[in-house]
Amino acid sequence: MAEKEKIDIRSLSLEALQKHFIQMDEKGFRAKQVYEWLWKKSCFSFDEMSNISKELRTKLDNSFVINNVQISNSQFSADKTIKNSFILHDKHLIEGVLIPTPGRMTACVSSQVGCSLTCKFCATGYMERKRNLNPDEIYDQVVLIDKQARENYGIPLSNIVYMGMGEPLLNYKNVIDSIEKITSEEGLNMAAKRITVSTAGIAKMIKKLGDDGVKFNLALSLHAANDEKRNTIMPINEQNSLKALAEALKYYYAKTKNPVTYEYIIFDGFNDNIQDAAELAQFCKHLPCKVNIIEYNPISFAAYINAGEDKVEAFAEHLRKNGVNTHLRRSRGKDIDAACGQLAIKEGK
């Protein structure tokens, strides 16, 4: 059987895999053993499945393929952040980051090859979206970054953020399926509360998260709390206005009781004055939330720069005075273009 005709084994549910095994004159329980190797033990090779007979491993190798993700290149920052370029089975490249901070070890993973959104301050937004990632390709990033954390720092992953390349809610099913594999007892068994999905704001998909009763955390990349400014830097806002987003978020909260995090980058001379802070404080009244003020990381495609320290502090203080739970987030991995908004494949262009 030619390689291209082989079935991607991780695209199959356990039930579908059991049917294949029966067609191969193999006992159904063997499928469960293989499924466990694939998802619980994160096995990338049939040869490593030690409790499976050599004959069956040969059958598997002839019929199926494991399209595992591999690390193409890793860069180490002075602050211990590690940026990885991952190569997919079809030779596309994506990036993912290991972010070590006191008390936690976080994997920042991608959900698409490139991005279809065109946020003006984000390097990925200047790339073409090639395709969505499959659930196993997202899962593999977590597995590889966890291994990296253990090998380099002796600490396993504690958190996962879907804040890498792509818009997770435009790859909804695959993102949800990947989280199922990551959180399931049959998979990596990580707590859903340790996972955050970040969106640029797709109102109808935020409502769907509510309907689906998701257990993970939701973050909204806000960056401006009036439509005119947000339209300028995030064209997605033209179809998903702040009013529409507020309604969707209130619906989501009513269904899940999960507070929302707003991510807010303060750009010098654009969204950094007290009026901007007042608009953000007003937007925060819609539902329980917190604000992460994020340091901007300049990219070559855009002319934005980070606001001065005094303005950032004044902005944060105004939010706190108005009862908004506010945190200042310092960027990690800036020296290797691994910080928020900097992910863009440079090799192989």
Residue 95 appears among annotated catalytic residues: yes
Is residue 151 a known part of a binding site?
no
Please state, as a whole number, how many other Cβ atoms lie within 10 Å of the Cβ of residue 134: 20
Q: What Rg, from alpha-carbon coordinates, does the chain have?
A: 22
Is residue 119 a known part of a binding site?
yes
Residue linked to tokens 């095994």: 21
Q: Is 188 left (phi over 0), alpha (psi -120 to 50) or beta?
A: alpha
Q: Which position among 108, 284, 289, 340 bears the catalytic label?
A: 340
- Residues contacting 202, CB < 8 A, separation 6+: 167, 169, 170, 236, 240
* Sign of the four-CA dihedral 43, 47, 51, 53: positive
Is residue 198 a known part of a binding site?
yes
Is residue 43 a known part of a binding site?
no
Instruction: Residue count of the chain, please give it.
Output: 349
Which token pair is 223? 């960056």
Q: Return d(Cα 270, Cα 224) in angstroms, integer.
A: 9
* 195, 209, 250, 260 from 257: Cα distances, Å: 16, 12, 10, 9
Is residue 115 a known part of a binding site?
yes
Is residue 284 a known part of a binding site?
no
DSSP, res 50: T
Residue 340 appears among annotated catalytic residues: yes
Q: Return d(Cα 305, Cα 258) in angstroms, integer.
A: 33
Is residue 223 a known part of a binding site?
yes
Q: Which position among 26, 95, 137, 295 bears the catalytic label?
A: 95
Residue linked to tokens 């049939």: 46
Is residue 226 a known part of a binding site?
no
The binding site consists of 115, 119, 122, 166-167, 198, 221-223, 297
The binding site for S-adenosyl-L-methionine consists of 166-167, 198, 221-223, 297
The binding site for [4Fe-4S] cluster consists of 115, 119, 122
**Catalytic site residues?**
95, 340
